[in-house]
Amino acid sequence: MYKITIAIDGFSSTGKSTVAKRLAKALGYIYVDSGAMYRAVTLFAMEHNLIHKNQFNKAQLIKQLDAIKISFKFNKKLGFAEVYLNGQNVEKKIRTLEVSQFVSQVATVSEVREQLVLQQQSLGKDKGVVMDGRDIGTVVFPEAELKLFMTASAEKRAQRRYDELIERGDDVSFEDVLKNVQSRDHIDSTREDSPLAMAEDAIKVDNSNLNLDEQFEFIYSLAKAKIAECN
Ligand code: DC
């Protein structure tokens, strides 16, 4: 059976990864969270004192890019692949609000993007992949057979993210999470290199008023139809 490439792009906290993981599992495809790769580079920059409030040593980060090795290892218990930075599992560390506050800046660096895009293309070279991010349908896999673009209101997205962070035990305020969502929307959509944009041939999914099951069923039916069309 011919396997397709599924690109899921959209604003932050639109639930891309939740639906992408579930879709990959249902189809027997691999799932790649490209945002996790930008987050891992950001964590590296933070741990090496290359980024702080009001200061980002871009030149040093570019110099040290070769020292950053990102990999994914499937965790059977969780049912998805966790991200590793230089051999260390950083799945939890990359999800903090602190990393979220710096990641959009790191994602503006063309040298970082170039390297991560190559890795992403290599991870999806055999097809049978569901990858989520901001530029998957436009830059990483412009030939993807199915492209989705997820949106929801900033308030809905911030509420989902806030609930997740509180559940993990993080001490954050809703206002800070909302500010972060809005600021990332702005940086992600206005950066020069590969800004967040909907590919011309993408299908827009506004999930402000859809629950997880409704959203999944809709996307799963699109994927099955596309797979049938390609076989
Ligand atoms: O999907 P996420 O929120 O974990 O992504 C973190 C950041 O990484 C996001 O603010 C933008 C950036 N990103 C990107 O520029 N390109 C991608 N393909 C994925 C994420």
Q: What is the pTM of this model?
A: 0.93
Every domain of the chain and the residues it spans: 5-224
pLDDT score, position 37: 98
pLDDT tens digits for range 176-215 = 999 999 999 999 999 999 999 999 999 999 998 899 999 9
Inform me whether the pLDDT recorded for 73 exceeds 90: yes
pLDDT of residue 82: 95
pLDDT value at residue 95: 93
Ligand 1 in reach of 117 Cβ (< 6 A): no
104 lines ligand 1 (CB under 6 A): yes
Residues 6+ apart with CB under 8 A from 203: 146, 147, 148, 149, 222
Per-residue confidence (pLDDT) for residue 6, from 0 to 100:
98
DSSP H or E run through 48: none
Q: Residues of 141-156 as b/e, b for ≥16 C-beta within 10 angstroms?
A: beebbbbbbbbbebeb
194 conformational bin, left if phi > 0, alpha if psi -120 to 50, beta if neither = left
Cα gap 44→103, rounded to integer Å: 11
pLDDT of residue 13 exceeding 90, the answer is no
Query: Coil, strand, or helix at residue 184?
Result: helix
User: Which fold, 5-224?
Assistant: Rossmann fold (3.40.50)
Backbone angles phi, psi at 22, to 5 degrees: -65, -40
pLDDT over 90 at 102, yes or no: yes
Atom number in ligand 1 closest to CA 187: 10
Q: Is the CB of residue 2 less than 8 Å from the CB of residue 231? A: yes
Chain centre to alpha carbon of residue 186: 16
Q: Is 103 in the pocket of ligand 1 (CB under 6 A)?
A: yes
The residue whose CA has the least distance to atom 4 of ligand 1 is 35
Q: What is the pLDDT of residue 12?
A: 87
pLDDT 10s digits, 147-169: 999 999 999 999 999 999 999 99
